Amino acid sequence: MAKITVIGAGAFGLALANTCVDAGHSVTVWSAFAPELEELRTKHESSKLPGVKISEQITLTDDLHCLDDTDVAIIGIPSSFVRSVAKQISPYLNKKTVLVDTSKGIEAGTFKRMSEVVEEECPNNPVVALTGPSHAEELSLGIPTTVAVACKDVQYAEYIQDIFTTSTFRLYVNTDVIGCELGGAMKNIIALACGVSDGLGYGDNTKAALMTRGIHEITKLGLAMGAEVDTFGGLTGIGDLIVTCTSVHSRNRRAGMLIGQGVSPEEAVRQVGTVEGYFCCQVAAALSRKLGVSMPITEELNHILYEQGDVRESLHKLMGRPNRHECERYTTLEELNRLHTAPGDHY
């Protein structure tokens, strides 16, 4: 039995907390917010995960000394707050604790992935990224779910795989941390775009187009960052893209639908709550320009979200781009560069 602490009492942290109880571990959930803890203590439910019973075996606390002798600390915090929370927990960690980051995003300004942010703030602890198609609403109900656990040092990913596995939760080890984290962060952008398309009343054809051209541009960015091409065809690439672009549970897709129906982006985010694709889109658009990787869907969505772009015009702009071949036969960054002579000229 391992001692596991979940940092954050949100939907995914609680879903993993329940899963870890099922796997036979001793679980503590830490939250900085008294009302969250109070709701869990009195009702064993959370408004962030309606209809799910949160195990009574879980210890609830607002005291970071709970980390004193923990084996694993799961970070279940939205990406915008990961750095500040990682900084806050760092002095309480002991060296044996393996950190599991579940946040999906890229940090504004630094372009760092979330595991890099955690590593910077908690330099004495190994960090494993857990990502893949895993809606909290389904994982917490014991619906079969698969994810990847990625770490440069494979022994830590294998450790998390061993201790988190249950009959309904299956974990695959992957050493391509860049690819795994990038897929998890970027699919939120494409899900927002799919939501916009749904909100406009467009159909499955359009959504399929956005998803497949979406994974294409995510893969190109990934290669430019040093990821491996195969990762984008796996759980954290196409797998997470499918679940987020098609599901009723996806907050990114829901926000996109509102925008497609005429609600302003700011208001849509306010209504839906955590919409990580909204923030990630601006960061990804800047990163793609910096790396000279053309990402037309991301660019158009960024125009809609931050430059008052018209949704219909943007979709038609995507349709009206110059004719081209579907596949670029690259498998490495060198091949990608060979195919494209000038930055921005390669889509």
Ligand X SMILES: NC(=O)c1ccc[n+]([C@@H]2O[C@H](COP(=O)([O-])OP(=O)(O)OC[C@H]3O[C@@H](n4cnc5c(N)ncnc54)[C@H](O)[C@@H]3O)[C@@H](O)[C@H]2O)c1
Report the C-alpha gap between 151 and 175 in whole angstroms: 5
Type of residue numbered 123: P
206 lies in the site for ligand X, by CB under 6 A? no
Among 116, 119, 276, 300, binds ligand X (CB under 6 A): 276
User: Measured between alpha carbons, how far apart are the two ends of the chain, in Å?
Assistant: 51
The DSSP annotation for 77-128 comes to --GGGHHHHHHHHGGG--TTPEEEE----B-TTT--BHHHHHHHHSTTS-EE
Region of 3-11, 222-230, 302-310, 321-329 interacting with ligand X (CB under 6 A): 3-11
User: Would residue 273 be called left, alpha or beta, if left means φ above 0 and alpha means ψ between -120 and 50 degrees?
Assistant: left
104 binds ligand X (CB under 6 A): yes
Name the nearest CA neighbour of 77 among 44, 99, 61: 99
- Segment 5 to 44, residues that bind ligand X, using CB under 6 A: 8-13, 31-33, 36
Q: Does 102 bind ligand X (CB under 6 A)?
A: yes
Out of 187, 207, 220, 317, which one is annotated catalytic? 187
Query: In this complex, which beta carbon is closest to ligand X, that of residue 70 or of residue 274?
Result: 274
Among the candidate windows 63-71, 129-137, 156-164, 228-236, which touches ligand X by CB under 6 A?
129-137
Compute the least distance from the CB of residue 15 to ligand X, in Å. Answer: 7
Place of tokens 């870890």: 20
77 is an interface residue for ligand X by CB under 6 A? yes
Query: Is 5 strand, coil or helix?
Result: strand
Work out whether 90 is an interface residue with ligand X (CB under 6 A). Answer: no
83 binds ligand X (CB under 6 A): no
Q: For ligand X, give the closer residue by CB, 60 or 223.
A: 60
Question: Which stretch of DSSP H or E encloses residue 315?
Answer: helix 311-319
Among 54, 72, 136, 297, binds ligand X (CB under 6 A): 136
Of all residues in the shown chain, the one whose CB is closest to ligand X is 10
What count of Cα atoms within 13 Å lies in the side-chain half-sphere of residue 125?
30
Assess whether 187 carries a catalytic annotation: yes
Q: Active-site residues: which are they?
A: 187
Interface residues with ligand X (CB under 6 A) are 8-13, 31-33, 36, 48, 76-79, 81, 85, 102-104, 134-136, 274, 276
